[in-house]
Amino acid sequence: MSGLDSYKRIDVRYLHRRKYLQSGYYFSLSWNCGGEPSGDIRVAVGDDCLTLIYRFRDYSEEWQDVRERVYLDWTRCNYGGKRPWFKCPGCRQRVGILAAASRLFLCRHCYRLKYSSQLETDLERAQRKRDKLRERLGEKEWLKPKGMHQKTFDRLRARLIEAEMRADEIWCMDASAWLGRLKRR
């Protein structure tokens, strides 16, 4: 496996902000590493899913064509509007960022990507908070548990989404230093 700085990553909010997540869209993304192009992919947008199209080669192997399907999930924001998430093709968790540390684009949990030590404490705190909220809401976090007040449910849901975003952002900040910037072609 190559160094951390050659990972390619995709941020779903970046795509959303640029209004790329519209069914029927087709675009390219490319990455740079130390000023040199380090790879590119094509992306086809379907109904709530993306198809990532690219070529991958392991050491001493032939190039393979890869088509990876990534589903999207949407949650409502506190301040109105919706925000998108990737459903990681590896673990089905809702995540904001996918990275290609090997053949497929997967989340940091699947690749066990490391963050720098100064951010680890922050990240752990955000993750602990998120896990506690998930515990209270149960496995189907979008359904109100029996006996829970609607207001309590709404508040916990909003806090959960915030904690998920925070956990993503911490990783994102750290990752941007070594994953390179996602660029529009």
What secondary structure letter does DSSP report for 145?
A: P
Task: Tell me the window of 5-13, 36-44, 62-70, 108-116 that interacts with Zn ion (CB under 5 A).
Answer: 108-116
Q: Which two tokens stand for residue 82?
A: 């919706």
Q: Does 161 bind Zn ion (CB under 5 A)?
A: no
Contact 97, 70 (CB under 8 A): no
88 touching Zn ion, by CB under 5 A? yes
Minimum distance from residue 104 beta carbon to Zn ion (Å): 10
Q: Please identify which residue in 91, 119, 143, 173 interacts with Zn ion, judged by CB under 5 A.
A: 91
- Is 167 a binding residue for Zn ion by CB under 5 A? The answer is no
CB of 111 to Zn ion, least distance (A): 8
> Cβ closer to Zn ion: 30 or 102?
102
The interface region with Zn ion, picked from 73-81, 105-113, 124-132, 142-150 by CB under 5 A, is 105-113
Q: CA–CA separation, 80 vs 86, rounded Å?
A: 20
Q: What number of H helices and E strands is found in the chain?
A: 4, 9
- Single out the residue of 110, 156, 163, 182 in contact with Zn ion (rule: CB under 5 A): 110
Kindly state the smallest distance separating residue 112's Cβ from Zn ion, in Å: 10
Q: How far is the CB of 88 from Zn ion (least distance, A)?
A: 3
Confirm or reject binding of residue 73 to Zn ion (CB under 5 A): no
CB-based contact 97:168 (threshold 8 Å)? yes
By CB atoms closer than 10 A (0-12, 13-18, 19+), residue 160 is buried
Q: Which residue carries 């093709």 as its tokens?
A: 89
- Identify which of residues 12 and 156 has a Cβ nearer to Zn ion in the complex: 12
**Does residue 12 interact with Zn ion by CB under 5 A?**
no
Size of the site for Zn ion (CB under 5 A): 7
In 161-179, which positions are buried (b, 16+ CB within 10 angstroms) versus exposed (e)? bbbbbbbbbbbbebbeeeb
Extract the tokens encoding 97: 């960022």
Q: Which residues bind Zn ion (CB under 5 A)?
A: 88, 90-91, 106-107, 109-110
